[in-house]
Amino acid sequence: MIFDADVTACADLLRKGDPDRFLAVMAAPPQARAVLFPIYAMNVEVSRAPWVTAEPMIAEMRLQWWRDVLGEIAAGGPVRKHQVTTPLGRVLSADRAAKLDEYVAVRRWDIYKDPFEDEPHMQAYLDHSAGALLWAAAASLGEAPEAPLRDLGWAAGLASWFRAVPELEARGHVPLLDGTPGGVRRLAEQGLDRLSDARRGLGAVSPEARPAVLAAWQAGPLLARVRRDPGRVARGELALSEAGKRGRLLLASVTGRV
């Protein structure tokens, strides 16, 4: 894999925009980092696109730009030059780029302030965003079964979603269908169930693809905290200590288990 100026720029973008995921990539072998940095830098750009403007049409255009990029990769033709898209075109296969269209399209929900329609709608949002991203990252490294990795991404995405709830509510969004303590606890239990399902299937993930799993290293303890005390979500008290985060990441990187 090429580790050039563009990949270095992707790493810097990830370090600034998603420091926890940056730590997870830095815990991976160097050859895996050159693949993961562009994919996760794309995620920084896509996830921030709905929030950098108050104009819905401009936000839609920003997301469409990334859908067009993925379309160019999927078509196997020239990919527009950009510090993220250029290395992304090297590491994403055509079929994975095509499947990631859902990953960008689902972010349209972030632009507007309508609540989720129902539970399947919210579940699909997590699957198409966090689930699709983790699977694509792993599959770009090596042999990686889709189902357990999407379950793992779903659980990790839910943990991150819980952390984002106070800010989303401050921006006028309705991030939870049922924000009562019982509703939040049930949702955390769903996440822990997905995490358990994922762990049972991770044995089929090849050693080459395994470093992508590290991105979910905080999912278990965060979801367990919500199950024990759902009020932590509204209070914004979910973050692990820096020592706790780094210790758990070290353990995950040594054992390969999250």
The pLDDT > 90 percentage for the chain reads 93
pLDDT at 85 over 80: yes
User: Do 163 and 242 belong to one domain?
Assistant: yes
Residue that is last in its domain, among 89, 112, 135: 112
What would the pLDDT profile of 94-131 be if each residue is shown by its tens digit? 999 999 999 999 999 999 999 999 999 999 999 999 99
129 in the same domain as 98: no
Is there a single domain that holds both residue 107 and residue 159?
Answer: no
- Domain match, 28 and 126 both: no
Question: Do 130 and 85 lie in a common domain?
Answer: no
Place of tokens 């510090």: 83
Answer yes or no: do 55 and 161 share one domain.
no
Number of domains in the chain: 2
Domain boundary among 112, 143, 176: 112
Question: Is the domain of 123 the same as that of 67?
Answer: no
Range of the domain at 198: 117-258
Distance, CA of 100 to CA of 70 (rounded, Å): 7
**Listed residues 112, 128, 157: the one ending a domain:** 112
* 184 and 204 both lie in a single domain: yes
Question: Distance (Å, rounded) from C-alpha 171 to C-alpha 235?
Answer: 16
Q: Count CB atoms within 10 A of the CB of residue 80.
A: 11
As a whole number, the mean pLDDT across the chain is 95
179 shares a domain with 151: yes
Q: What is the pTM of this model?
A: 0.95
Q: How confident is the model at residue 65 (pLDDT cuts 50, 70, 90)?
A: very high
What span, in angstroms and rounded, lies between the C-alpha atoms of 179 and 185? Answer: 9
| Whether residue 107 is found in the same domain as residue 175 | no
Residues 72 and 150 in one domain: no
Answer whether residue 54 shows pLDDT above 90: no
Convert the pLDDT of each residue in 9-48 to its tens digit: 999 999 999 999 999 999 999 999 999 999 999 999 999 9
